[in-house]
Structure 1
Amino acid sequence: MNRTALALAAAVTALVAITGFASLTAPSGSDSTVTKAAARLPVERSSLLCPAPSTSDLAETRYTSFTPAGKAGKDGGATGTAQLLPSTTDDGKKGKGSKKSASDKPLLSLKEPGKPVTDEESGGETPALIGAADGRLAPGWAAQQTTTVDAGSSRGVLGTRCTAPDTDFWFPGASTSADRQDYVHLTNPDDTAAVADIELYGKDGAIKSDVGEGITVPARSSVPVLLSTLAPDPADNVTVHVSTRTGRVGAVVQSMDDKVGSDWLPASASPAGKLVLPGIPADATSVRLVAFAPGSDDADLKIQLAAEDGTITPAGHESLHLKAGMTAAVDLGDLTKGIAGSLVLSQDGGGKAVPFVAALRVVRGKGSKQEVAFIPATGPVGERATAADNRSKGSVLSLTAPGATAKVKVTASAGSGGGEPVVKTYVVKGGTTLATKPPVPSGLKGSYALTVEPQPGGGPVYAARTLELPQGGIPMFTVQTLPDDRGTVSVPTARQDLSLLNN
């Protein structure tokens, strides 16, 4: 038998194996040539990473872990685990914080969907956490860390959603200025080392530095990198790009400002031609927009504010020109004028949409009693999103419908220490932002989770949750955006097609 015949025989054998496997999944009596639409099924495993919360001895951190009720994997929801475990430090040793973090035992374990669990840690030695969930606890699993520091250079409320590992992140809104200390935290969840690059872009373009290239993040460990060590000169507004050469990491920027406090800057949504930044508080005294176009084309952004009564264009801040590869920033002042809103950024003119990323730096208070938070551009809620840590007072839920009117179901879960779930439905008119005190579980004890679910037939919804924890006259707060929780995944249906063998 010649080589051509052998190759043909091998190809036929491979195709028979493929179609034979497909036939195992095809329903009896179905038309094998008809391809059905992909089904959406609950995920069976989720991963989350939480950065090391603080180096301050005054830090008080609450962790909250939660999975919404209502969806389960293929096992019918009978089993499942969701755990957050301490990472190692960057020198390969275990974090020394509490007795929990000095061992291989989980810092936090979730037992059932629909009810959050919490843990509280004190001091500045709590390590980053690496989490995994499977079975009935995987779909929509969410975790939050909220840290309060009442004095010192890191004073403030620092809140962040624990996020999934990835290979590419954009952070517009960082800084290497003298009055700020910004660190990018890189956390590797895997059993082999990851290698990451950090690039900085200022108002004049790329900031040349070899220090940010080839940063090794050891297996199951976390490495903080001070951004000012990567730049030869201070810069007020910087865009940070984190990418991996090998492996994957979780990445988030911790910003500490001597004048206005501290918070986490999460990654912006992926570059797109239109972005929404939801949840600007009504009493914001200063709002700064920072944006960046990573491609080779300039972009002209149209700036609009979706407020309670409709979408307006702020006087004097109608647009922003982005030069390709250069960070642009504009101070919008007290943009909301006492009414909560969300920023909607789109392209000016009728030309092609240029992808960009964006984030807001928001300040509340005045003088020595100011506090800062960051709002990155985020994706729509999609099917469902969750804010894991809410208290009986101080939570504000922002829902934005930049297009058509939307109906949204909001569920307040049972409390971590007791209480019954409460459900409320809101209507968000097209082009507006609805900022409201969310429902609270009846008989609440402890903290609770909020789950947001847009109802069929309406336009896309963008959401954010503000948590206000004032101290000593300072309006301390943090804002977390609520993108889709990716609790389901599209699974194509395979069908045999023996006609392939006849070609």
Structure 2
Amino acid sequence: MRLIMESRFALLGAVSLALALLWGLAFASRSVGIGVGVSEPGTFRPERATRVCPAPHETAGHGAESTVAAFTPRVGRDDTGRLWAVPVPDGGDASALGEERTEPGGVWRADTGQALRPTALRAEGALAAGLDSAQTTVSDTGLTEVRCEEPSTDLWFALPGGTDPEAVEVASLTAHLANPTETRTTVSVDLYTQNGPAYSAESRGVPLPAGASTELDLTGLVQETAALGVHVRTSTGRVAASLLAEHSSGATGWVPPTRAPADEHVIPGVPGGDGSRRLLVAAPGDEPVEARVRLIPEGADGEGEPLVVHVPPAASAWLTLESGLRGRAGTVVVEADAPVVAGVHTEYTEYAEDGSATVLDTAYAAAVEPLSAPLDTTAVLPEVPDGVAAEVAMAALDGEAHVVVTPIGADGTQGDAVRVDLAPGTTRVFGSGAGGWTAPAAAGGYALRLELLEGSGPVYAARRLSTPEGWSVLPVHPAPVEVELPVVRDTMVGVVP
């Protein structure tokens, strides 16, 4: 007993001494100005960036052309940096992935039509701050576009399932997973169906060694539901994930990641025209959720009556939007009494004289963060390929908004910019030509730069590309050239890692 007591007091004394030494170290570092942190937020310019595009969907025999494009705006006088691309895994042959770029302000492109593996874009220095990239595939059967994603630990998607009374069905669903980092990653994919959570042994604990990639077939998990929420998460490391949905109509589309679970979401860029417009909502929590849905169609004078969708616990639900939008482009606002994820599925439908309908293509709109002051005031959209029409949809909710859209050619040549003013609670769609921007005269595709003007309210945006055969919707994400540093005060956390 005496030994136990002595050991206990000795341990207590050792712990007290260690804490005193650490506290003294904190004060010492503060007094000499070493700077373990800051008490006010600061910013810095990213000096490294990685983005990953999946291998393009197979469209052999349909004259498909696939390209990966990237753009970094020119900021300040320091133009030192580089941007290059390698396949994942890197087999040592990057000759087919474009030339290295060393200056910002122009469009970088690479042909990926023959790529069988994902493409990893890497940027350093001035090419890293404000970088964004996307892969576009144009064929005589449709148009697909997917944003090249930054590796993450947590991604969410919303889309239809394989059973639907109106034939908005997913016939095949594949998760494209890539690990471009130098550390091992372990990935799990969870699904939230109308009947509750779903997963398989193959979708849990998927190992991805450094520099590896794989494709995970989820089709068997989506056949008994009409709505889906998909959660891609890692227990170790980071992953770049893209979701490819092939529909019963024959149309194929990449499903963009949507915002993580939250009480409110804004989904811009729902295209106008004929065909299905469907809102998908998933609630990952353990309680039922009621979500109010507001629609803001282009050209509408005010909003219509809000719609309501009820979502069971740890499940998903859907809601048709055609009657509220009435063929017009629009913005969807979801306000729920508990965190949800949300997205919109759209169909590009052609009607014959006899009234029969043919679904030519499909596309997805996703919830996004707005362009907003002080840091998230810039977005870039590479690229608009030759022969493809483009338009940008914007929405302002809480105040007047003012944005300048500038087209920029591959060589950095700028076309005529256009200023867009939005009244509160409105959606506006515009494109190239009369009333929109003027594309650069130089041959080749061009990028778009969006800049929020000083004093503007937040703006939610999406871009649509279209050909006679199909369309795609790309959610617009802020591409800040400066990132906010967290506040770190003089605490034990600031001293002890």
Question: Aligned-pair distance for 1:311?
Answer: 6.5
Tell me the SS of whatever aligns to 1:285.
coil
> Identity across aligned pairs (percent)?
26
Partners of 2:219 and 2:395 lie apart in 1 by: 36
1:1-47 C-alpha deviation (Å, 9 max, x unpaired): x855676345424542455353699xxxxxxxxx7632333222222
- 1:307 paired to 2:312: no
- Contact 1:86/1:107 (<8 A) preserved: no
Matching residue within 40, 43, 68 for 1:40: 43
Q: 1:6 to 1:138 in 2, by over 3 A?
A: closer
Partners of 1:196 and 1:19 lie apart in 2 by: 45
Aligned to 1:113: 104
Question: Aligned-pair distance for 1:187?
Answer: 1.1
Aligned to 1:57: 60
Aligned to 2:3: none
Partners of 1:337 and 1:108 lie apart in 2 by: 46
Aligned to 1:32: none
Aligned to 1:185: 176
Q: State which drifts further: 268-277 or 56-65.
A: 56-65
Tell me the SS of whatever aligns to 2:180.
coil
Matching residue within 151, 158, 161 for 2:144: 158
- Supply the AA of the counterpart residue of 1:488: E
- Supply the AA of the counterpart residue of 2:259: A
Matching residue within 71, 77, 97 for 1:66: 71
Partners of 1:264 and 1:116 lie apart in 2 by: 23
- 1:245 paired to 2:235: yes
Question: Aligned-pair distance for 1:445?
Answer: 1.9
- 1:170 paired to 2:159: no
- 1:273 paired to 2:259: no
- Supply the AA of the counterpart residue of 2:392: L
Q: 1:440 to 1:21 in 2, by over 3 A?
A: farther
1:149-168 C-alpha deviation (Å, 9 max, x unpaired): 43xxxx42110111111111
Aligned to 1:86: 87
Tell me the SS of whatever aligns to 2:243.
strand
Q: State which drifts further: 38-47 or 248-257.
A: 38-47
Aligned to 2:329: 340
- Supply the AA of the counterpart residue of 1:247: G
- Contact 1:305/1:312 (<8 A) preserved: no
- Supply the AA of the counterpart residue of 1:8: A
Tell me the SS of whatever aligns to 1:297.
coil
1:129-148 C-alpha deviation (Å, 9 max, x unpaired): 11221211111101110012
Partners of 1:260 and 1:311 lie apart in 2 by: 37
- Contact 2:96/2:110 (<8 A) preserved: no
- Contact 1:404/1:430 (<8 A) preserved: yes
- Contact 1:51/1:222 (<8 A) preserved: no
Question: Aligned-pair distance for 1:479?
Answer: 0.5
Partners of 1:269 and 1:37 lie apart in 2 by: 28
Tell me the SS of whatever aligns to 2:417.
strand
Partners of 1:441 and 1:212 lie apart in 2 by: 45
- Supply the AA of the counterpart residue of 1:225: L
Partners of 2:102 and 2:458 lie apart in 1 by: 33
Q: How many residues align?
A: 458
Question: Aligned-pair distance for 1:494?
Answer: 7.9
- Contact 1:182/1:254 (<8 A) preserved: yes
Tell me the SS of whatever aligns to 1:211.
helix
Q: 1:189 to 1:284 in 2, by over 3 A?
A: farther
Q: State which drifts further: 274-283 or 452-461.
A: 452-461
- Contact 2:361/2:471 (<8 A) preserved: yes
- 1:384 paired to 2:378: yes
- 1:375 paired to 2:387: no
- Supply the AA of the counterpart residue of 1:85: V
Q: 1:108 to 1:173 in 2, by over 3 A?
A: farther
- 1:135 paired to 2:140: no
Tell me the SS of whatever aligns to 1:444.
coil
Matching residue within 421, 425, 429 for 2:423: 429
Tell me the SS of whatever aligns to 1:16.
helix
Q: 1:61 to 1:309 in 2, by over 3 A?
A: same
- Contact 1:299/1:323 (<8 A) preserved: yes
Question: Aligned-pair distance for 1:480?
Answer: 0.3
Partners of 1:189 and 1:430 lie apart in 2 by: 42
Partners of 1:43 and 1:434 lie apart in 2 by: 32
- Supply the AA of the counterpart residue of 1:389: E
- 1:412 paired to 2:407: yes
Question: Aligned-pair distance for 1:169?
Answer: 1.3
- Contact 1:283/1:336 (<8 A) preserved: no
- Contact 1:57/1:122 (<8 A) preserved: no
Q: 1:314 to 1:9 in 2, by over 3 A?
A: closer
Aligned to 1:286: 276
Partners of 2:447 and 2:486 lie apart in 1 by: 32
Aligned to 1:213: 204
Aligned to 1:30: none
Question: Aligned-pair distance for 1:369?
Answer: 4.8
- 1:222 paired to 2:213: yes
Question: Aligned-pair distance for 1:182?
Answer: 1.1
- Contact 1:199/1:240 (<8 A) preserved: yes
Question: Aligned-pair distance for 1:209?
Answer: 2.6
- Contact 2:293/2:309 (<8 A) preserved: yes
- Contact 1:290/1:327 (<8 A) preserved: yes
**5+ residue gaps, structure 2:** 1-12, 164-168, 351-356
1:325-345 C-alpha deviation (Å, 9 max, x unpaired): 111012223653343211111
Tell me the SS of whatever aligns to 2:203.
coil
1:329-387 C-alpha deviation (Å, 9 max, x unpaired): 1222365334321111124xxxxx41111011101123335210011111112321111
Partners of 1:384 and 1:6 lie apart in 2 by: 48
- Contact 2:415/2:441 (<8 A) preserved: no
Partners of 1:312 and 1:354 lie apart in 2 by: 26
Matching residue within 297, 319, 343 for 1:359: 343
Matching residue within 17, 20, 39 for 2:32: 20
Tell me the SS of whatever aligns to 2:201.
coil
Matching residue within 286, 310, 317 for 1:328: 317
Q: 1:174 to 1:15 in 2, by over 3 A?
A: farther
Tell me the SS of whatever aligns to 1:252.
strand
